[in-house]
Amino acid sequence: MNVGFLGIQYSFGLQQSAINPIFLFLGATEEQLPILNLAGPITGLIVQPIIGAISDKTWSPRFGRRKPFFLIGAILGSICLFFFPLSPALWFAVGLLWILDVGNNMAMEPYRAFVGDKLPEKQFSIGYQMQSLFVGAGILLANASIFLFQDWFGGGEEVAGEVPKWLYYSFFIGAFLSIATILWSVFTTPEIPPTEEEMVEIEKHRALPFEERLFAPFREIWKAIVQMPKFLWKLAIVYLFQWYALFVYWQFITPLFRKTMGMDTSEAAAQAAKMSTTYNVTTALVALVLVPLALKFGNKKVYALSLLGSALALFAIPYITDSFYVLAPMVLFGIGWAAMMGIPYSMVSKIVPQDRRGVYMGILNMMIVIPMGIQTVSFGAIYKNILGGSPINAMLFAGVLFTLAFVFALRLKMPKEKQEANLQNS
């Protein structure tokens, strides 16, 4: 069921570790990096909730409910990954990133709902933590390919305005995995047909005039936001600090190593990939271990402590100047990433109606991309005018934000009736 997530997350792994170095290779300045990453937040904000709402009202006996959307998204992403390292100029790479993010978001949102559709509630934790394992595995492969290919095929002086050839191979592999892994899930995992009640609603939607069907997803999104459980509003506050901090880390880890270790951009990108590889190895190893821990101590405690561990990791990284020992904090970061990619989705799936799971997973993604959007338009000025243009200060700033996320995560509380049901199921 989750194999297709490997290809999607390989693509996101490249976005985390290779996209910003490519922007730097093509002439971008460090303070431009946040705004150049605007594609992710904007496309996620628009695409995911709309696709979620549409897929909730979709059913085909042949193609299913969610599969058509993540298959189209995978094809689009695969094409963009192939051409990305061939970008002749910065504007071309930025444009491809917009299209790539549309494809990735079209694939990801229905995939989240797909897992919830297939599993009984008592298996949500294991299902979403298994998805977290594939998140770690996909990003791990992407980042391992970056530093391995740099080691095998790198070398020589960097040429301004050109992407090094060693980066090509990672993107070509990603183009293959994006479509191949999705096809595996499409052909091996049948979708469960809608219930009679759900089918009645789907037929009602199909009977609407075209104009009403066109605007129905937007009305459904607004209705879901108005009726959103209080738990999701509290989670949105946690996500505000968590995802702002993550975007800062991904954008400035390469500039940080240019500053603290005196590396050139290629060396710093390879070191950043090693950091990401380390935390994603940890994620893959601990993702399923978090399931019994969450059952014993509660989702909230495990999630909150993981955020605190991520904060401690970011506080440590700027002060470690050895390229090997600086990998150690990534163990804490990897535990945090495993929790972030699994526990919130499990909690949300338990409290939202099944027939609206797609739209609520889209809204959950809005809670991710809105902080990212705020970061892309605000952090360039903060970095230049408040943090003194220092990547060290940027990393410490991200650590402070993770600490705030930890504090607000302690305030999360599942509805009482859901807590009782979960205890019975477990």
**291 burial level (CB within 10 Å; 0-12, 13-18, 19+):** buried
Question: Which pLDDT value is given to residue 108?
Answer: 76
- Flag whether pLDDT at 411 surpasses 80: yes
Q: What percent of the chain has pLDDT over 90?
A: 27
- Flag whether pLDDT at 176 surpasses 50: yes
Least Cα distance to 323 among 255, 270, 394, 248 occurs for: 270
Q: What is the pLDDT averaged over residues 118-145?
A: 79
Question: Which pLDDT value is given to residue 308?
Answer: 96
Residue 174 tokens, joined: 């990603």
Residue 144 tokens, joined: 């391992």
Which range among 126-130, 219-223, 247-251 has the greatest average pLDDT? 247-251
Question: Which pLDDT value is given to residue 421?
Answer: 43
| More confident call, 3 vs 335 | 335
- Flag whether pLDDT at 382 surpasses 70: yes
| More confident call, 28 vs 49 | 28
How far, rounded to the nearest angstrom, does the alpha carbon of residue 240 sit from its chain's CA centroid? 14
CA distances (Å), origin 55, targets 104, 116, 117, 210, 341: 16, 13, 12, 16, 22
Q: What is the pLDDT averaged over residues 148-163?
A: 74
| More confident call, 84 vs 159 | 84
- Flag whether pLDDT at 400 surpasses 70: yes
- 198-239 per-position pLDDT tens digit: 788 778 777 778 777 777 777 877 888 888 888 889 999 999
- 261-310 per-position pLDDT tens digit: 989 888 888 898 899 889 888 887 887 788 788 778 888 898 999 999 99
pTM of the model: 0.70
